């Protein structure tokens, strides 16, 4: 029998009282323990790479725009069982959204993490701590809680090097072996963009994590380029998501990275 777990998140801001909100798991979604997180909003960097919508950090945690949200950096722990010491807090990412479509997209992302991506948690995708929803000041809110990846300020990085491109390619390969197509990774095979990096983050140990599975789909991979196949062979019978990653990596190790067009937008 499934149990309903809670998620308490406290927003701390300079010059005002902390505010705690409680959300809940959906029926049928098991979480091992109730969670508690602390977000110091005043310390969130005022950088567009951290915002999922267009709201300013100083506006607090309530999101005015429908189907938008924010990404918070939090300290996460579990309420201890009776007789146990409180678990050690860990850094976590809290993806906080409002609006029916946005919340349903989060539910789908949660199903990806707990379904086909379950064995890749902590290796290729972040550790998943749970999906929660509820009403906060009469606004329907949904959120997922994930492993925090400190190397996630992708807007500060320039064109990726061959090592970075290899890690991205290998991560995509493992996603496809698990039967999942991300759908928002590389836009083109003839150029690289800054936005290509927004779903490739680095965990605490420096390993790659792929994030953002709200538009992911189950996938039977048709394969990418063979070892001796031309870089121009990304045809309709190939898996384009994998093929594009291979093209960018092969071009880089072949000395052609400087010639690859770079679009910083």
4-33 per-position pLDDT tens digit: 588 888 887 666 778 888 888 876 555 555
Q: What pLDDT sits at residue 104?
A: 93
Q: What pLDDT sits at residue 24?
A: 86
pLDDT of 52 over the 50 cut: no
> From CA 55, how far away is CA 79, in angstroms rounded?
31
| Residue 89 token pair | 């807090």
List, as one string, the DSSP characters of the chain: -----EEEEEEE-TTS--EEEEEEPPTT---SS-EEEEEEGGGS---GGGBSSS--GGG-S---STTEEEEEEEEEEEPPPTTSPPPPPEEEEEEEEESHHHHHHHHHHHHHHHTTTGGGBTTTB--EEEEEEEEETTEEEEEEEEE--SB--GGG--S--HHHHHHHHHHHHHHHHTTEE-SSS-S-SSEEEGGGGGGEEE-TTS-EEE---TT-EE--------TT--TT---TTS-HHHHHHHHHHHHHHTT-GGGSEEE--
Average pLDDT, the chain: 78
Question: If 0-12 CB within 10 Å is exposed, 13-18 middle and 19+ buried, where does residue 228 land?
Answer: exposed
Q: What pLDDT sits at residue 63?
A: 61
Q: What pLDDT sits at residue 155?
A: 54
**Contact, 36 vs 77, CB < 8 A?**
yes
| Residue 8 token pair | 């308490």
In the predicted model, what is the mean pLDDT of residues 189-207? 82
In the predicted model, what is the mean pLDDT of residues 74-101? 83
Q: What pLDDT sits at residue 193?
A: 73
pLDDT of 61 over the 60 cut: no
């Amino acid at each position: 029998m499934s149990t309903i777990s809670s998620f308490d998140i406290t927003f701390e801001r300079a010059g005002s009282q902390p505010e705690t909100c409680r959300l809940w798991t959906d029926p049928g979604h098991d979480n091992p323990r109730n969670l508690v997180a602390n977000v110091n909003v005043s310390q969130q960097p005022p950088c567009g790479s951290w915002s999922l919508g267009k709201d300013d950090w100083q506006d607090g945690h309530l999101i005015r725009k429908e189907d938008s949200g924010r990404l918070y950096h939090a300290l996460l722990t579990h309420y201890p069982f009776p007789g146990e010491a409180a678990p050690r807090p860990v850094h976590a990412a809290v993806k906080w959204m409002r609006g029916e479509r946005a919340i349903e997209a989060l539910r789908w992302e949660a199903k990806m993490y707990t379904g086909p991506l379950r064995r890749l948690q902590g290796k290729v995708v972040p550790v998943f701590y749970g999906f929660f929803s509820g009403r906060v000041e009469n606004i329907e809110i949904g959120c997922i809680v994930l492993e925090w990846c400190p190397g996630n300020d992708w807007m500060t990085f320039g064109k990726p090097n061959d090592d970075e491109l290899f890690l991205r390619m290998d991560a995509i390969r493992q996603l496809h072996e698990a039967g999942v197509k991300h759908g928002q990774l590389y836009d083109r095979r003839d150029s690289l963009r800054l936005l290509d990096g927004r779903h490739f983050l680095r965990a605490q140990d420096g390993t790659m994590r792929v994030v953002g599975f709200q538009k992911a789909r189950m996938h039977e991979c048709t394969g990418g380029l063979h070892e001796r196949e031309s870089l121009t062979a990304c045809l309709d019978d190939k898996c384009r998501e994998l093929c594009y990653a291979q093209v960018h990596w092969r071009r880089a190790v072949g000395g052609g990275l400087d010639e690859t067009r770079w679009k910083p937008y």
